[in-house]
Structure 1
Amino acid sequence: MYLINGELTENLAANDRAVQFGDGCFTTARACNGSIRFLEQHLARLQQACEKLLIPFVDWSLLENEMQQMAAVEQQAVLKVIITRGSGGRGYSAANCVQPTRLLSVSAYPAFYPQWRAHGISLALSPIRMGINPHLAGIKHLNRLEQVMIRTHLEQMPAQEALVLDSDGWLTECCAANLFWRKGTQVFTPYVDKSGVNGTMRQHIIACLAESSWQVTEVRERLDSLATADEVLICNALMPIIPVNQAESWRYKSHELYQFLAPLCE
């Protein structure tokens, strides 16, 4: 089901800037038992992205109401919200774009996530690297060709998710998830200030760990940092967290951090 500017339709204007230039941002939330998990964080993410992209979206109360209405009838589903700069003009100039477009959709919850949580997954290094762009890093803009290529390569490998490096070779994230690893009581996650996405679940986990006996640090590390990890896990707003059994040739048996975080992330 699609809701575009308040209308139930699948028709988006051909001159919408999302179609022409990927000019917009999005968030993907979990609808559960008629409500939206971490609703405030998802709205804050959209607001931050619109500010960064200079998209003059102001209808936040209306958007929140539409999100809640679409989630109200769902027991377990995926709610995606896209904000584009709207339609108008030709070329890169946004001078003639007056009204941003809001696009909401609901789809089925991935059936494999519960199995992943129960049994763990493996990660394989992607041959596709993320470009470095400090201005766009962290936000979920609509330019996702890197993720499309990462997923295309991943579908040819036996692993369930990808380990992704940036163009300088630093460990960054997964295809559709953020990455954490543990060494003793020290927990690490890659910086996303130059590349990657600052996911809502990533932010939530960092906040949870900051109030615990675990010590969490954002780092810039190479892939081989995972060789000496005691535990690895990945997260996003839908999973919400998944234990990792194997990354490349390295295997992990501990789920200690996962067991601590799992009830805090539901």
Structure 2
Amino acid sequence: MYWLNGHPATDIALSDRAVQFGDGCFTTARVLDGHVQWLPAHIARLQRGAAALMISGVDWQALTQEMVQAAEEQGQGVLKAVITRGSGGRGYSPAGCLQPTRIVTTSLYPAHYGAWRERGVTLSVSPVALAQSPLLAGIKHLNRLEQVMIRMHLEQTTADEALVLDTSGMLVECCAANLFWRSGRRVMTPDVTLSGVDGVMRQHILALLADHPDYQAEIVRAPPAALAEAEEVFICNALMPLLPVNAIGEWRYQSRALCQTLIPYC
């Protein structure tokens, strides 16, 4: 189902800046028993994205209600909420854009996530590197061309997900998930202040680990070789929510201790 500014719709104005420039941001949430999981976190994420892009005038109350209503109608599945700058003027200048556009869509839950949670996943290192862009890093903006290219290359392999580096060769994330790994009590996740997405589940896991007596979370800039000595690797997003990694190339991981500890709280 598709809703545009609160009304059922199947198309959008060609002049909308989402079409012209990818000018907006989005979030993707799980719908469970008619409710949007982590709804306040998803709204907060959209608000951070809109602020970073200097998109003002969003009716957040209306969007929240639209997401709630769409989830009630969907029952189980996936909800995506998009904010665009709207339409107005021409060229790059946002002058004349007076009303942001709200888009809410729902779809079925990916059936393969359940199987992946049971058997674990394999990662391949993507040949597509993410550009460093501190201005846009962390937010989920509408320009996903890098992810499209990552996915296209991934589909030429037998791996389940792609391990993605930035242009300096540092770990960032996966194509559609954040990355964590554990060595002893140390739990590490890549810094996403230069590139990548600061996902809702990533934030939640870091909050869980902040006061955990057995583990110490660290945000690091590290090369792929850091994963060679890891005891455990897992990936996460708001839908998965956590998936254990079995292998990255020749590296193999047996432990699921931390993943299994976290799953009941995710």
The answer for unaligned runs of 5 or more in structure 2 is: none
Is residue 142 of structure 1 aligned with residue 142 of structure 2? yes
Matches within 5 A, 1:163-242: 163-213=163-213, 214-242=215-243
Partner of 2:254: 253
Deviations 1:15-52, CA, capped at 9 Å, x for gaps:
10000000000000000001011000000000001011
Is residue 264 of structure 1 aligned with residue 265 of structure 2? yes
Give the CA deviation at 1:11. Answer: 1.3
What is the CA–CA distance in structure 1 between the aligned matches of 2:16 and 2:95, rounded to whole Å?
A: 14
Q: Is the 8 A contact 2:58 2:99 kept in 1?
A: no
SS of the residue corresponding to residue 123 of structure 1 reads: strand
Matches within 5 A, 1:1-266: 1-213=1-213, 214-265=215-266
Question: What TM-score, normalized by structure 1, do the two folds share?
Answer: 0.99
What is the CA–CA distance in structure 1 between the aligned matches of 2:74 and 2:14, rounded to whole Å?
A: 30
SS of the residue corresponding to residue 242 of structure 1 reads: strand
SS of the residue corresponding to residue 73 of structure 1 reads: helix
Greater mean alpha carbon deviation, residues 56-65 or residues 177-186: 56-65
Deviations 1:88-116, CA, capped at 9 Å, x for gaps:
11100000110000000001110100000
Question: What TM-score, normalized by structure 2, do the two folds share?
Answer: 0.99
Q: Is the 8 A contact 1:50 1:57 kept in 2?
A: no
Give the CA deviation at 1:142. Answer: 0.2
Q: Is the 8 A contact 1:234 1:244 kept in 2?
A: yes
Give the CA deviation at 1:74. Answer: 2.9
Give the CA deviation at 1:71. Answer: 0.3
What is the CA–CA distance in structure 2 between the aligned matches of 1:41 and 1:6, rounded to whole Å?
A: 21
